[in-house]
Structure 1
Amino acid sequence: MDRTFTVDEARALLPSVIEEAAVVIAARADLAELDFARRSGGRSERGGLPEIKGLQARIEDVLSGWSGRGIEVKGIAPVLVDFPAVLDGVSVRLCWIEGESELAWYHRTELGFAGRRRL
């Protein structure tokens, strides 16, 4: 989906993105624990292969939901998403990374995260 967001539209979506990111973050932590237990030959109170598959499905569900709304997923460790936008006639990405409480940054599309600037 090729969607362009205004700053206001992206900011309006951010509370749901943060809520959904919490699901990804919790599932990511559980997966790390389960993976460690499997690699070390131990057991985890979190379960086994069925729980791993369930957690992977939960993460994929959130990510595909974001993509379906036009939000670009750049990473899940940490969670990093971009909202395609145009500012002053320039293609940019309004970006949010796990831990931020508001949408306050953008970068030119071709510069990526390293080119982040305050809105």
Structure 2
Amino acid sequence: MPARYFTLEEANALLPELEPVMAELLARRAKVVRQRHKIAPILDDPHGDMGGAAATEMALDFVRITELVEQVQAFGCLLKDLNTGLLDFLSERDGREVYLCWRYGEPRIEYYHELHTGFTGRQRY
């Protein structure tokens, strides 16, 4: 699949569609993290039911997380950090490739970074 380049305006226009997907994705991830601590002792019990309903629910959450990640990727952006909801959009600036960088909760895309620098190299657009 060829790379898609976004203008700042195009990437910002996608945020209203991406935000609810990211909200659910982050909520599901947080739920799985909470469940993990509850289910671990059950799974370690050789005489237990291997997690039963709790394990099934967690498996369904993992399936949904996978679906949500695929939805995000279908927009053409890159999910860089599931913990913080960090997305990158490939773009061009001054004749070079850069990533427009957005983190869930930010009102709009206002930052970019070089391909090799990552989040720590963010600069205001």
Considering the TM-score relative to the shorter chain, is it more than 0.5?
yes
- The residue type paired with residue 34 of structure 2 is E
Correspondence for 2:11: 10
Matches of 1:74 and 1:58, distance apart in 2: 18
Q: CA-to-partner distance for each residue in 1:56-113, whole Å, 9 max, x for gaps?
A: 1111111112222211111110111100000111110001112212111110112111
Structure 2-normalised TM-score? 0.84
Correspondence for 2:58: 52
Matches of 1:69 and 1:15, distance apart in 2: 12
For residues 1-119 of structure 1, the aligned pairs below 5 Å read 1=1, 2-41=3-42, 48-119=54-125
Moved over 3 A (4+): none
RMSD between superposed Cα atoms in Å: 1.6
**Percent identical:** 32
Unpaired runs of at least 5, structure 2: 43-52
The number of residues matched between the two structures is 115
- The residue type paired with residue 68 of structure 2 is V
Unpaired runs of at least 5, structure 1: 42-46
Matches of 1:118 and 1:86, distance apart in 2: 15
